[in-house]
Amino acid sequence: MLICELEKRLAGALERVGVELPEGMTVQISPAADLRFGDYQSNTAMVLAKRVRTNPRELATKVVDALELDGLAEADIAGPGFINFKITPQTWSERVAGLLSDDRLGVPEIEEKQTVVLDFSAPNVAKPMHVGHIRSTIIGDSLMRIARFLGYKVITDNHIGDWGTQFGMIIHGWKTVLNEDDLQADPVAELLRVYRSVNAKCGEDESVRDTCKEELVKLQAGDEENLKIWQRCVELSKQGLQGIYDRLDVSFDFWYGESFYNDRLAPLVEDMIASGTARESDGAICVFFDADSKLAEQPTIIRKADGGFLYSTTDLATIDFRVEEWNADQIWYVVGAPQQLHFQQIFEATRMRGQNPNMQHIAFGSILGEDRKLMKTRSGDNVQLVDVLDEAIVRARAAIEAKNPDLEGEEKEEVARIVGLGAVKFAELSQHRMTDYVFSWDKMLALQGDTAPYLQYSYVRVRSIFRKLEDGHQLDPAAVSVSEPAEIHLARTLLKFGETVPILLDDFRPNLLANYLLELAKAFHSFFEACPVLKSEGDVQMTRLVLCELTSQVLVKGLGLLGIQVPERM
Ligand code: ARG
């Protein structure tokens, strides 16, 4: 990467002028804030001058004189002692030509191939999977794609809630209000109806609440009939969920839901009592975080006084399993912000037990309706994910019909699917995950805007250039020579892909990639306006064709890392 090479050369120059870097400090070069002054900049001379008590501009001058850049870039000094680097057109040409034969498009692989368990989506069975789950599913899927591309060994695990208290209600409903025909026809809808109907009755009638509790206790005690109902219910729900994941192009290596850990809970609690990490309090078994000032007042229960286990107990058992069976070095949880305390507690309890995988709670905010309130349907229910996907496709189809009436039949349907789903995913991923974002159909589907359709359309435009080329074309990297400002800017932006992808996992921010892709598409459109491709000739045309080819490759790869496909026409 250019940045690393410049850093090495800067370090060399510092050595030659006899300035030593203090322990733990490395030379720092970053992309320039203002491209008029250069492509990269460094404040290292200023930081060092302060330490060795010398004039920063003087030190910067000495360092620049000692730099051996060999035509890679030109350096000069700005302000109080910044060193600016302007990459030469020749370097841009060489680098961009080099991307053509690099199937990683400039993105380095990590050296230490750690194993990451990625816990995302994880809806609760027999309860509706609503639009809030879309965030976990889409962010998690994108993180999986990015991490795998960078070289991590990623295990995806859908930790579904298949053993919660909701089963008391479901089983009672199954025995009293279930309609078998409707269950056959649309299991998810029927289970939802049953759940809602019992839930409403529980609100009104205490005796219904008690019956549900009894059904739950029977299930937990292993009652055969209830276990059978539970099993069928989980199976049907899983099939329904699988249908949604297929449509979203999301998949999991494992679906070890909560129930998978049932047998491990009692021994885990015993073990924690024996090791002193948990102790009794009012009949319940609790973990007290005395050593942690933030959690000191927030103990967590792992076994209730009535013997029941909790969400945290299951999560602790799950961590054991993932570390022991899968050798997880890291565990990432993509779960909404309201569960922050829960994760702080189980992470701390895990450390107290002497295990220390790198555990991350990757939280996110809410999705709001256009009235800026939590998104609901007109009747006040949570919006369902399937409905969102259906509507996205219907709206994308209408937009495509208006734009390109030539598209017909299967091709039109396929494009509508790719554009509609892409729009929903991109609206999600282009926001910082903690932002509460407003779900707006018009905004996410706009062809001119910060949207997936805009990026997909940019790709289609690039490809159409190649379709118009008269004779077959062989791209020749040796002929690449960028000189026009718009060519240089596009080359610079293409090379930035290799700098962008590696930092996405620093704070789990796929939105940086989304923003980068918008920047690339804009650089391409400016280039396309300023630099005719089909009407140019010789090496100039070859240079431009290579830039076009790489633009389309980076768009496909980058969107792919967000889980978004591209159509060939639209
Ligand atoms: N089922 C939970 C919910 O929807 C999310 C589970 C997240 N994963 C975990 N290991 N706790 O609220």
| Probe target for ligand 1 pocket from 162, 339, 347, 350, with the most ligand atoms within 8 Å of CB | 339
Which domains can be identified in the chain, with CATH numbers? 2-87 (3.30.1360.70), 385-561 (1.10.730.10)
For residue 311, which atom of ligand 1 is closest to its CA?
11
Q: How far is CA 66 from the centre of its chain?
A: 43
Res. 94 pLDDT band, cuts 50 70 90:
very high
pLDDT at 297: 92
pLDDT digits over 228-247, tens only?
Answer: 999 999 999 999 899 999 99
**What is the band of 24 on the pLDDT scale with cuts at 50, 70, 90?**
confident
What is the phi/psi pair of residue 53, to 5°? 50, 60
**Exposed/middle/buried for 451, CB within 10 Å: 0-12, 13-18, 19+?**
buried
- Residue identifier of the C-alpha nearest atom 11 of ligand 1: 315
Q: Cα separations (Å) of 509 from 143, 154, 343, 498, 503?
A: 9, 17, 20, 16, 8
Output the CA 483–ligand 1 centroid distance in Å.
53
Going by pLDDT thresholds of 50, 70 and 90, the confidence category of residue 555 is: very high
Q: Are 418 and 567 a contacting pair, CB within 8 Å?
A: yes
pLDDT at 35: 87
Q: Per residue in 112-151, pLDDT tens?
A: 999 999 999 999 987 767 767 889 999 999 999 999 999 9
Contacts of 129 (CB under 8 A, 6+ apart): 123, 241, 244, 384, 385
Q: What would the pLDDT profile of 307-324 be if each residue is shown by its tens digit?
A: 999 999 999 999 999 999
**CA 214 to ligand 1 center in whole angstroms:** 25
Statement: residue 540 has pLDDT above 80? yes
Report which ligand 1 atom has the smallest distance to the Cα of 133: 4
Note whether 56 and 78 are within 8 A (CB). no
Weakest-pLDDT range from 410-419, 471-480, 527-536, 555-564: 471-480
User: Residue 52 — pLDDT band, cuts 50, 70, 90?
Assistant: confident
Residue 214 identity: E
Tell me how far the alpha carbon of residue 522 lies from the centroid of ligand 1, in angstroms. 39
- Distance in Å, CA 112 to ligand 1 centroid: 29
Nearest to 254, CA basis, from 121, 82, 412, 100? 121
Q: What is the pLDDT of residue 68?
A: 96
Reported as a pLDDT band with limits 50, 70 and 90, residue 397 is: very high
Beta carbons of 135 and 198 less than 8 angstroms apart: no
Q: Ligand 1 centre and the CA of 565: distance in Å?
A: 28
- Mean pLDDT computed over 329-351: 96
Place of tokens 């007042």: 297
pLDDT tens by residue, 424-476: 999 999 999 999 988 889 999 998 899 999 999 999 999 999 999 877 778 99
Give the number of the atom of ligand 1 that is nearest the alpha carbon of residue 343: 11
Residue 53 pLDDT class (50, 70, 90 cuts) = confident
ipTM: 0.99
Instruction: Give residue 374's pLDDT.
Output: 77
Query: What integer is the mean pLDDT of 255-259?
Result: 97
In Å, how far are 13, 37, 106, 296, 568 from 31, measured between CA atoms?
A: 20, 11, 16, 43, 33
- Check residue 83 and give its pLDDT: 96
Residue of 419 and 366 predicted with greater confidence? 419
Tens of pLDDT, residue by residue over 180-225, are 999 988 888 899 899 989 999 999 999 999 999 999 999 989 999 9
**b/e per residue, 474-509, with b = 16+ CB within 10 A?**
eeebebbbbeeebbbbbbbbbbbbbbbbeebbeebb
| Residues in contact with ligand 1 (CB, 6 Å cut-off) | 119, 122-124, 159, 161, 315, 318, 333, 335
Distance CA 275, CA 138 (A): 39
* Bridge partners for 313 per DSSP: none
- The letter for the amino acid at 313 is T
Burial of 220 (0-12, 13-18, 19+ CB in 10 A): middle
